[in-house]
Amino acid sequence: MPRPSLARRCLAEGLATFALVFAGCGAIILNSERGDSLGATGIAAAFGLVIMAMIYATGHLSGAHMNPAVSVAFGASRHFPWREAGAYVPSQLGGAVAGAALLRVVWHGTPADLGATVPSVGSGSALVYEAVMTGFLMFVIMAVATDTRALGAGAAIAIGGTVALDSLFGGGVTGASMNPARSFGPALVANEWQQFWIYVVGPALGALAAAWAYEVVRGPEVRRTKAPERYG
């Protein structure tokens, strides 16, 4: 079936990233304002579930990247055209800002800094955590999105589950961003830029390394598919 135009796919990316920030960061705010009502497990579940839902909703349209690090890693591994990756990234950033802005309006301020990611450890340790967590995520994405042997129908569950897993063990360390857009939206709207560079460099390095690692493990003889076509 014909794919939507690039403009429509960018719109899908923006909407999906908006949902990610509004639901995931909204859970962080709710937890802060309602006496730890969700806890770390509830926040991790919120992020994992919204990722899962958006992959089912937009995966067949845009590939449901929702993450500049993922788009860049797909481009670097030749699973996605660089021109389209360059269009996806501003859409993802815009969706994240819109999600954070709506949270600010709804909550009449910036409680919990709107879910902004700030490390609780040193910058070096935080960078390692972000890179490794994003590496786990990208390795799973590469498997279900680009390898014909993987079960594409289970992509949403696998990817959402990985996000929830990373959030469980890394949320208390760095906020478990794994996503420059997810960190950028709350940082801009709440004006919280402390150690923000970690949430750009860490995910980028982790995603690129994982994409390369999966190509090595996969081997050259396996037929590859274009990333956006495997979630449908």
Q: Is the per-residue pLDDT at 216 higher than 50?
A: yes
Q: Which of 91-105, 131-145, 208-222 has the lowest mean pLDDT?
A: 208-222
pLDDT (0 to 100) of residue 232? 39
pLDDT (0 to 100) of residue 226? 56
- The rounded mean pLDDT for the chain is 93
pLDDT over 90 percentage in the chain: 87
Phi-psi region of 222 (alpha: psi -120 to 50; beta: other; left: phi over 0): beta
d(CA 4, CA 8): 6
Residue 117 CA to chain centroid, in angstroms? 13
- Give the mean model confidence (pLDDT) for residues 164-169: 97
Q: How far apart are the first and last CA of the chain?
A: 11
Instruction: Give 54 or 3, the one with higher predicted confidence.
Output: 54
Residue 21 CA to chain centroid, in angstroms? 10
- Give the mean model confidence (pLDDT) for residues 132-146: 95
Confidence of residue 223 (pLDDT cuts 50, 70, 90): low
Upper half-sphere CA count for residue 109 (Cβ side, 13 Å) = 4
Tokens of 218: 């996969």
Instruction: Give 223 or 146, the one with higher predicted confidence.
Output: 146
Q: Is the per-residue pLDDT at 123 higher than 70?
A: yes
Q: Which amino acid is at 214?
A: Y
Q: Is the per-residue pLDDT at 155 higher than 60?
A: yes
Confidence of residue 231 (pLDDT cuts 50, 70, 90): very low
Q: Is the per-residue pLDDT at 100 higher than 50?
A: yes
pLDDT over 70 percentage in the chain: 93
